[in-house]
Chains A and B, each alone.
Chain A
Amino acid sequence: MFLKTIDKIFPPQPVYAHCDIPCGIYDPYQAQVAAHTVVRMVNLLDEVNASSPEPDFDERKRIISRVARLTSVKEEHAETVKREVRIIWGDYFKPEHAEKFPNLHQLVFDIMKLASKARQEVNLEAAEQLLRKVQEFAEIFWTTKDKEPVRVKSTYPTEGELVLPK
């Protein structure tokens, strides 16, 4: 009673029983959505066409604007893939996970490289490969959480899959 009164007057300082911010909130969902977006942007970029080899000025402006917007979103989401994967890899995964999944570090390295390639180029093969690697990463993540990973068909125009816990 006495100490509780003291606590009210002079609050005790906090001692943290967690990391920098409360951890335990990790999910590879966002990385997958971003990878799907990269694929979608490449598809849309591939669909950009001019009506003739020498389109007029207004059409050129429209094409340039469209390509700029699609490229900007592709860049942004490829970077999101890198950020989300890096956070899970750096903050969530522990040495015992890497022992259990010896390809984990190589997989993350591949994702980083493929995301950069997807940013640099309009390359559907690289974008799709990036998505596959991110799905593989998500499967490892959910397995380490003792959740059986399942592949669910997405409702996205890419018609690809999402890896979710069962």
Chain B
Amino acid sequence: MWFPFSRYKVVGHSMEPTFRDGDPLWVNRLSYLFSSPKLDDIVTIQLQGQRGKVLLKKIKKVTKDSKYFVEGLNKTDSYDSRHFGPIDKNKILGKVIKKY
């Protein structure tokens, strides 16, 4: 069943100190239905080649061709756009709205 809000649990350290390993999150999957991701939004993304894994990143830059450069907050321990390049909007699943 499809829900507009999803619950996630953080695994890993690339978003510390804001999001720690084990933190539970709410993600709004409708946030970008009629609008575009903005700078500093924390988003969940899904890429090909990651075996379906959902990643947690921050929007650092919007490129001229409307792609999104995402990074982890903990840059020394993050696999992000510095490796796989800017991503399309359709790779962004939703916006993190709350820790609970």
Contacts and interface: CB of A to CB of B under 8 A. Distances in A.
Interface of A: 3, 6-7, 11-20, 22-24, 94-95
Interface size class on chain B is: 20 to 34
CB-based closest 3 A-B pairs = A19-B79, A18-B12, A12-B7
A20 B79 contact: yes
Given A16-B53, A19-B83, 15 more contacts: A3-B100, A7-B7, A7-B9, A12-B8, A12-B25, A13-B54, A14-B8, A14-B9, A17-B13, A17-B15, A17-B16, A17-B56, A18-B11, A18-B72, A23-B77
Interface of A is mostly: loop
A24 B15 CA distance: 14
A15 B50 contact: no
Contact of B54 (A11, A15, A22, A94): A15
Interface of B is mostly: mixed
Contact of A12 (B13, B24, B76, B78): B24
16 contacts: A6-B7, A7-B24, A13-B6, A13-B9, A13-B54, A14-B9, A14-B11, A15-B11, A16-B54, A17-B12, A17-B14, A17-B16, A18-B12, A18-B14, A18-B79, A19-B78
A24 B75 CA distance: 10
A17 B15 CA distance: 6
